[in-house]
Amino acid sequence: MEFKGSVAIVTGGASGLGAATVEMLIAKGAKVVIADLNEEKGKEFAAKFGDNAVFAKCNVTSTPDNEGVVKTAVDKFGKLDILVNAAGIGSASKTIGKDGPTNLDWFKMVLDINLIGTFDMIRLAAWQMSKNAGNANGEKGVIVNVASVAAFDGQIGQASYSASKAGVVGMTLPIARDLSRDGIRVNTIVPGIFDTPMMQLLPQAARDSLGAQVPFPKRMGNPSEVAMLAGAIIENPYINAESIRLDGAIRMGPK
């Protein structure tokens, strides 16, 4: 997929890994719909890129919101070629605690956002992409999901988060197979410990400790490195149905 002239949606696009991906896409010549729940931050971020970006308020658990994001891409830029699913939340709750079992509604909410919201955006974006004329490879669209190494190395208290991210990894192959006849590729990035706004809330000592756990390079990842991998996936027409760890060789311990 060529970047120049392409149109992308990035969910969770106003901060962190999503924002870095937006910057990469626009630098390479794409137009981007920045989909995010934070309207103030999203509009301010989109304004930096002039006519190359537009903000669309979106709660990925809302199908009308997700439909609105796809419609914004078509209305503003005429089509949709790329979807990057970077929206998500973390969680920490042991299965049982001193006061009883964990809150099931919280578990469901994490799955609603991280897994079901991702799938909803995929199905809606893929339908729009299927209407594109294929390029020389017959390619009509590219979808890149963002999961987490918690899909494989879930730590204590991460049952809901790990389940949601494992679900994203698990559905990558069957969705890629589903969409192969429509010329749409589907891949997932599986990041390790990255220096995102959520991590920046931790004390510096805690951040340094986390970075030191990474075999090499001994630091947390930079959001731009996720964006670099997203760019490589989008550009390379033979990468399909892959879940690619991007983690400096870390394998998370129990806690």
Rounded CA-CA distance 35/53 in Å is: 10
Tell me how far apart the alpha carbons of residues 184 and 81 are, in angstroms, rounded to a whole number.
Answer: 9
Residue 238 annotated in active site:
no
Q: Are strands 100-101 and 96-97 parallel, antiparallel or unpaired?
A: antiparallel
Residues 181, 115: Cα–Cα separation, whole Å: 24
Catalytic residue among 3, 45, 55, 161: 161
3-state secondary structure at position 41? helix
Tokens of residue 112, six digits: 């609603």
Encoding tokens for residue 199? 């991590």
Cis amide prior to 217 (ω within 30 degrees): yes
Return d(Cα 89, Cα 52) in angstroms, integer. Answer: 27
Catalytic residues, which ones?
161
